[in-house]
Structure 1
Amino acid sequence: MSLFYKGNYSYKWLFVLFSFFLSSFCFAGGITLDSTRIIYPQENKQITTNIRNTSDISAFLVQTWIEDAQGNKVSDFISTPPLFTSAPKNENTIRLVYAGNNLPIDRESLFYFNVKAIPSIDRNELSDKNALILSAVTRIKLFVRPKGLKITPREAIKLIQFEKIGEREIKVFNDSPYYMTLTDLYSDEKELPSMMIAPFSDVEINTPIGFDLKRLKFSSINDFGGITPLMPATLK
């Protein structure tokens, strides 16, 4: 079975059960990435990112791959090495190379970078024991950003607009060339869910009863995974 957690990271925990009994040994991931999102300048032939093994004792078999915005594995965006062993306290450099068709030059394109960590086991130590092995998949956003976009990411938040379109429905517009992730959307004590809006697009969402759009404030997530200061919503 798999469990999904939402946030700056998305985690999938894949359980391999070697017996029907509760495990006396449980292995979990010690593999971490050096960022919560990756910005790939479109003019670059390649970039690198780092993966660390924070464990003092465990080695991991690490697999890396890239998916498109729909979650499909792609072959024209390469992460190398795609499979390697990370020893305890090691830091490994991953090279990301885009070798596909031309992407839009007036807006960002979205991909996802995936890292799967499978812990090593001592078969002799586990020979007479029940075991549950956990392999963790970390999935982060990978934005391909064209050179020369007319505004900066910091300015893009000013182009977010909100419009009331029904008794409890609102529409959120992103008129910038960037993927915008909005968070901390509060109007008094009422909150809207965090959302990501593609460039030059909009989304419709339902609001709680009595939600006052005129009092809405919100933040966004910047290139470093940090949260920007709250700002009042601009109404359309």
Structure 2
Amino acid sequence: MKNSRRSRVILLALAAAWSQYSPAAVNVDRTRIIMDAPQKTVAITLNNDDKTTPFLAQSWVTGADGVRTDALMALPPLQRIDAGQKSQVRITQVRGLTDKLPQDRETLFWFNVRGVPPKPEDDNVLQLAMQSQLKLFYRPKAIIRSSSDQPERKLTAERNAGHLTLRNPTPYYITVAWLGADRSHRLSGFREGVMVPPLGSLPLKAVLPAETRTLWVGYID
């Protein structure tokens, strides 16, 4: 009985500590980042939405594989943002390294931000550092888009043994948010938010009924 009671107390303490820091305090001013080759740097605004607590903001860029890259740098990599205040981090091209990236298609990176709260005075309080991750697309000069471009309209689908493969003939990543036989019924097995790579294809586990002749596609611009 005593052990059970002690377990409940510990769980309640952990739940209270989690609720204290579970919302991300340091947030980014956008949901994705596009960096055209002529832009040597892109400024990103970071907001500390906590009205009482200063946070440290740690920023860095990784490749599509999650490994830190040398081609793009986030500066400053570490900064303090006071309660309720804003600051900026700049994503900067490293001269010579971005030239080695593919010049006929987009390259996917990830921009990472971690908000670190101050060390709690009570050693028994669980401290959590919340992290955000945004897609960062680097576009070489040869494929800079105009406002009239609609690469998603060039996406095609192929049926193979009842399953689908999406093919993307364009130099841009296309994020598919919806696949359905109509506007109301999503295909069985489709996972929302898949990315079809540029000049490539993506096999899906989604099942396309044999009688389906029209495919509805929803995408994220």
TM-score greater than 0.5 by the shorter chain: yes
CA RMSD across the alignment:
2.2
1:190 to 186, 193, 200: 186
Runs of 5+ unmatched residues, structure 2: 1-9
Instruction: Give the corresponding residue for 1:145.
Output: 139
Separation in 2, partners of 1:44, 1:90: 27
Give the conservation status (yes or no) of the 8 Å contact 2:46–2:86. Answer: yes
User: Percent of pairs identical after alignment?
Assistant: 25
| Partner residue, 1:27 | 21
- Could you tell me which of 80, 83, 87 is aligned with 2:78? 83
Select between 47-56 and 20-29 the one with higher mean Cα deviation: 20-29
Structure 1 residues 151, 144: closer, same or farther in 2, change over 3 A? closer
Distance 1:148 1:34, change over 3 A: same
Higher helix share: 2
- Could you tell which deviates more after superposition, 92-101 or 65-74? 92-101
Q: TM-score, normalised by structure 2?
A: 0.82
The structure whose RCO (Cα within 8 Å, separation 6+) is larger is: 1
Q: Please state which structure has a larger fraction of its residues in strand.
A: 1
One of 80, 91, 94 as aligned partner of 1:96 = 91
Q: TM-score, normalised by structure 1?
A: 0.77
Across the two proteins, how many residue pairs are aligned to each other?
199
What is the CA–CA distance in structure 2 between the aligned matches of 1:88 and 1:211, rounded to whole Å?
57
Question: Of 42, 46, 49, which aligns to 2:44?
Answer: 49
The Cα of 1:147 is off from its aligned counterpart by: 2.6
User: How far has the Cα of 1:149 moved from its partner?
Assistant: 2.2
Structure 1 segments, 4+ long, off by >6 Å, are none
Q: Which structure has the larger Rg?
A: 2
- List gaps (5 residues or longer) in structure 1: 1-19, 223-236
| Counterpart position of 2:5 | none
Question: What residue is the counterpart of 2:3 in the other structure?
Answer: none
